[in-house]
Structure 1
Amino acid sequence: MKILRVIPSMDPSIGGPCQGIRNSIPELTKLGIENEVVCMDAQDADYLGMDSFPIKALGPSKGPWGYCEKLIPHLVSNFHLYNIVIIHGLWQYHSYAVNKAAAIYKKKFPNKATPIIYVMPHGMLDPWFQKAKERRIKAIRNYFFWKFFESDVVNNSDGVLFTCLEELRLARRPFRPYRPKKEINVGYGIIAPPAYTTDMDIAFRSACPTLGDDAYLLFLSRIDQKKGVDLLIKAYLLLKQKGISLPKLVIAGPGMETSYGDQLLVLASNTTDILFPGMLRGNAKWGAFYGCEAFILPSHQENFGIAVVEAMACEKPVLISNQINIWREIDAGKGGMIEPDNASGAASLIMRWVALSGAEKQIMGKNASNTFQELFTTEKAAKQMFQQILQPAKTTNKLS
């Protein structure tokens, strides 16, 4: 059986869907499932050619919609090679192109089976994107895109795939008509982190030299208003002003070169206890995870939260908002703390953490690791996808 993944970009700095693809394919390969990827990246992008699976780059794409003139002809010419096509993400040209190409293929080859087509929105149907004040213009754009393009993409597909039950429930709210043929929770997982080595700690401390040997809380994600970084900094500073003894705060990730990043630097300018090492990769990234007291993310919206699960896999408690869609699973497993996505919620996460004893913190870390092993490994997610969509697909007439 062969799956084609269609996604705007496989740039690893973007994270999210492309990282999910990279995490899942090796485990699906073990189950005998072949995977290929089509993206709209430039053919000479330096991050291509480094993966174990084929990636066909047809770009560069043009404009904010990501138009790529080669995509529809390529799909029509190659649909017959695949049993299943998965559209990763919405709101860009690639989703429209798959839907359009399927219509052309059926008309051009009426006697040939069309591959099963699924949409995996990766949280892009979350109501937050339509309600957030800073996204008013994009919300209006999405309304019209849904009316003219995306409603057909979703409702014409054979089903919509979700990473968790909360995402499935939330996707029903923002748009009409919303009539998917199937809603399927296929789960999600990450590759287990490499075992800790002292080189990891050395690499991280080198990337963050002013930290020294001090204890710290870790925020590691894209620097964006959606992530609630400003709330985190304000909460941290407020607690410091009250004389509460706190570990240092490391805020790592790409995006500090933006205007929002500049705002954060101004917010934190009166303290040396908040550190901004930028984006961390490889040993430096894993050193940051393994060395922190806890991971903190007061995000306004997170479909899954790969970094959250990476921290859990490193046996670190996670201090998160209730807008991260896997918060219920984490709460049930007692692997972290949950609060609302506002300033008082962020402050409560920090205060509750520092109030714990060393033994309580250690138990919470063990619980986080156990929850990862039970729910969020790539092996678990691959088996769930296999059971939900791949195994049933073998019995349909659409597969050769």
Structure 2
Amino acid sequence: MRILHLTPTLDPHAGGLAEGVRQSALALAALGHRVEAASLDAPGAPFLEPLLAECSLPLAALGPGYGKYGRTPNLVPWLREHGPRFDAVIVNGLWQYHSFAAWLALRSVGVRYYVFPHGMLDPWFKHTYPFKHLKKWLYWPWAEYRLLRDAQAVLFTTEEERLLARQSFWLYRAREQVVSYGTGKPPADSERHLEAFHAAYPALRGRRIVLFLGRLHPKKGCDLLIHAFARLASEVPDAHLVLAGPGNNDAIAALRSIAAQAGIAERITWTGMLQGDLKWGAFRASDAFALPSHQENFGIAVVEALACGLPVLISDKVNIWREVASDGAGFVAGDTLEGTVQNLRRWFMLDEVDRERMRMQAAATFRERFTVDAHTQRLLNVLEADAAHDTYPVGRPSVV
């Protein structure tokens, strides 16, 4: 098949969405499908050259997009001209110009398009940012509602995400499909990764590292993690917290202030964003992975941790928490301070035999549930079934 991934950006700093698009494109191409990408990135964006050299993904960078919305005059004409070359277009994410442009352009040329909301319909945003939600309501009937209504299918990563998506806007129509999600296997050279990480952070060698890796954003619960770690730090003198990821200056300053006030500033290492060997080295060097998030659609970093055999300590707002809990691949609790303390304490109290058993289960959970190959096959089942029936439901979606 000829497949186009449409995304607001491929910038690695954007988090899991950009990485998910890259992984999906690589997996589809490995199966012999012709995959391209289009984004709102500026053609000369500095992160594009190394990214494209690594994955050999044909890309139309149609930006720069203006403002947070990312509007660019190049996208709709490009989609109308090039859209008919593709058997399917996958629209990744909502609330930016690329999704509205897809609806404007593709329905008029009869191209099947599919929408991955990537958790952006989660009602958590409605409750946490009511003013922003009001602004979205003003936009919703004219843009995203129509985008979803006229899509060949709206694709969800979990059943949990599918059910939550129905709760944000009462005006909602979609043909829903759950296709899972996943990521690739970690690179095999674990010793090289470990040495690269320890060379960069020699003071962490031999420590029991609790790793957070992701954007340092308020929804991720990093403040809870710092407070919880502070409560237990004296009980586990060899434990150390690593906060790895990008964030705006105000968010990071607020977190550093919390650490200083709690008296554990010297027990935390702030690495900034880690990539390549350093990222995999952080996973390999760590004792457990922690994400007490208030909202997490899937959690690519959670799955990467599992892939490295790293048990995960997550909140029940991470949408794969049921799978983690039922498999025993980590511990799950509420997205509160007490829940975060509970997860850390349960992990620290395990003996080495039980920790090793959980490490083995973490790796097994990744293999059985979250490989990009399994996700790709489910996605292809949907795309190929629609292509075989030559269906295109513009104006007449299935209402689920």
Scaled to the shorter chain, the TM-score interval is over 0.9
1:220 Cα offset (Å) = 0.9
Letter aligned with residue 301 of structure 1 = Q
Alignment equivalent of 1:213, drawn from 187, 195, 206: 206
Alignment equivalent of 1:381, drawn from 371, 375, 387: 375
Q: Name the structure 2 match of 1:190.
A: 183
Q: Residue 14 of structure 2: SS of its match in structure 1?
A: coil
Q: Is the Cα–Cα contact under 8 Å of residues 196 and 290 in structure 1 kept in the other structure?
A: no
Taking the aligned partners of 2:32 and 2:195, their CA distance within structure 1 comes to 39
Q: Is the Cα–Cα contact under 8 Å of residues 15 and 214 in structure 2 kept in the other structure?
A: no
Q: Residue 41 of structure 1: SS of its match in structure 2?
A: coil
Q: Is the Cα–Cα contact under 8 Å of residues 16 and 301 in structure 2 kept in the other structure?
A: no
Letter aligned with residue 311 of structure 1 = A
Question: Residue 15 in 1 paired to residue 8 in 2?
Answer: no
Alignment equivalent of 1:372, drawn from 362, 366, 369: 366
Q: Name the structure 2 match of 1:129.
A: 125
Please list, as runs of the form range in 1=range in 2, the aligned pairs for 1:33-44 lying within 5 A after superposition.
33-44=33-44
Q: Name the structure 1 match of 2:58.
A: 54
Q: Residue 140 of structure 1: SS of its match in structure 2?
A: helix
Structure 1 residues 244 and 44, CA, compared in 2 at 3 Å: closer, same or farther? closer
Taking the aligned partners of 1:154 and 1:318, their CA distance within structure 2 comes to 33
Taking the aligned partners of 2:391 and 2:159, their CA distance within structure 1 comes to 29
Question: Residue 237 in 1 paired to residue 230 in 2?
Answer: yes
Scaled by the length of structure 2, the TM-score of the pair is 0.92
Q: Name the structure 2 match of 1:69.
A: 73
Q: Residue 337 of structure 1: SS of its match in structure 2?
A: strand
Q: Is the Cα–Cα contact under 8 Å of residues 37 and 60 in structure 2 kept in the other structure?
A: yes
Q: Name the structure 2 match of 1:84.
A: 88
Q: Is the Cα–Cα contact under 8 Å of residues 208 and 277 in structure 1 kept in the other structure?
A: no
Please list, as runs of the form range in 1=range in 2, the aligned pairs for 1:269-308 lying within 5 A after superposition.
269=260, 270-271=263-264, 272-308=266-302
Taking the aligned partners of 1:78 and 1:265, their CA distance within structure 2 comes to 48
Question: Residue 268 in 1 paired to residue 245 in 2?
Answer: no
Q: Is the Cα–Cα contact under 8 Å of residues 207 and 238 in structure 2 kept in the other structure?
A: no
Moved more, 142-151 or 337-346: 142-151
Taking the aligned partners of 2:88 and 2:190, their CA distance within structure 1 comes to 40
Structure 1 residues 208 and 136, CA, compared in 2 at 3 Å: closer, same or farther? farther
Q: Residue 125 of structure 2: SS of its match in structure 1?
A: helix
Please list, as runs of the form range in 1=range in 2, the aligned pairs for 1:335-374 lying within 5 A after superposition.
335-374=329-368
Taking the aligned partners of 1:160 and 1:154, their CA distance within structure 2 comes to 7
Taking the aligned partners of 1:137 and 1:65, their CA distance within structure 2 comes to 17
Q: Residue 394 of structure 1: SS of its match in structure 2?
A: helix
Taking the aligned partners of 2:72 and 2:232, their CA distance within structure 1 comes to 50
1:244 Cα offset (Å) = 5.3
Q: Deviations over 1:35-69 (max 9, x none)?
A: 11111110111222323221101110111211010
Q: Residue 375 of structure 2: SS of its match in structure 1?
A: helix
Taking the aligned partners of 1:155 and 1:379, their CA distance within structure 2 comes to 28
Q: Is the Cα–Cα contact under 8 Å of residues 322 and 339 in structure 1 kept in the other structure?
A: yes
Q: Deviations over 1:347-381 (max 9, x none)?
A: 00111111111111111111111110001111111
1:147 Cα offset (Å) = 2.5
Q: Residue 222 of structure 1: SS of its match in structure 2?
A: coil
Q: Name the structure 2 match of 1:313.
A: 307
Q: Is the Cα–Cα contact under 8 Å of residues 236 and 348 in structure 2 kept in the other structure?
A: no
Taking the aligned partners of 1:291 and 1:393, their CA distance within structure 2 comes to 45
Q: Name the structure 2 match of 1:101.
A: 105
Scaled by the length of structure 1, the TM-score of the pair is 0.92
Q: Is the Cα–Cα contact under 8 Å of residues 196 and 281 in structure 2 kept in the other structure?
A: yes
Q: Residue 250 of structure 1: SS of its match in structure 2?
A: strand
Taking the aligned partners of 1:316 and 1:64, their CA distance within structure 2 comes to 35
Q: Is the Cα–Cα contact under 8 Å of residues 75 and 101 in structure 1 kept in the other structure?
A: yes
Taking the aligned partners of 1:41 and 1:92, their CA distance within structure 2 comes to 13
Letter aligned with residue 66 of structure 1 = G
RMSD: 1.6
Q: Is the Cα–Cα contact under 8 Å of residues 92 and 117 in structure 2 kept in the other structure?
A: yes
Structure 1 residues 210 and 246, CA, compared in 2 at 3 Å: closer, same or farther? closer
1:323 Cα offset (Å) = 0.3
More helix by share: 2
1:26 Cα offset (Å) = 2.2
Q: Percent identity?
A: 40
Taking the aligned partners of 1:356 and 1:397, their CA distance within structure 2 comes to 54
Taking the aligned partners of 1:247 and 1:184, their CA distance within structure 2 comes to 42
Q: Name the structure 1 match of 2:160.
A: 166
Letter aligned with residue 211 of structure 1 = L
Taking the aligned partners of 1:178 and 1:70, their CA distance within structure 2 comes to 29
1:332 Cα offset (Å) = 1.4
Letter aligned with residue 225 of structure 1 = P
Aligned residues, how many? 385
1:185 Cα offset (Å) = 0.7
Q: Is the Cα–Cα contact under 8 Å of residues 221 and 292 in structure 2 kept in the other structure?
A: yes
